[in-house]
Amino acid sequence: MDIPAEAFRSAFLGLGMSELAAGTMVALYEMVKAGAWDLVTDDVARATGRAPQRFADWVAAHADAWRPLLSG
């Protein structure tokens, strides 16, 4: 999902974050969107003994836990 940076900032400000904190979160979001830290390692498998999974798959598997945050 591509969320415009200003909408992302507004959401954080609406949750009571300071301008500095919201700006930092937006900067991190923009870096991730641009592909920063887009790498694959075997760290998860070595640390947990299990294959890693995509974050989107993990969120989908735990959707009920996210619903209260989205309906707020």
Note the pLDDT of residue 31. 92
20 token code pair = 């500095």
Query: What are the pLDDT tens digits along the chain (72 aa)?
Result: 788 999 989 999 999 999 999 999 999 999 988 988 888 789 989 999 998 888 889 888 988 887 777 765
Residue 26: phi and psi, rounded to 5, are: -65, -40
Domains in the chain: boundaries: 5-71
With contact defined as beta carbons under 8 Å apart, do 11 and 25 qualify? no
pTM: 0.54
Q: In the chain, what is the greatest distance between 2 CA atoms, to the nearest angstrom? A: 40
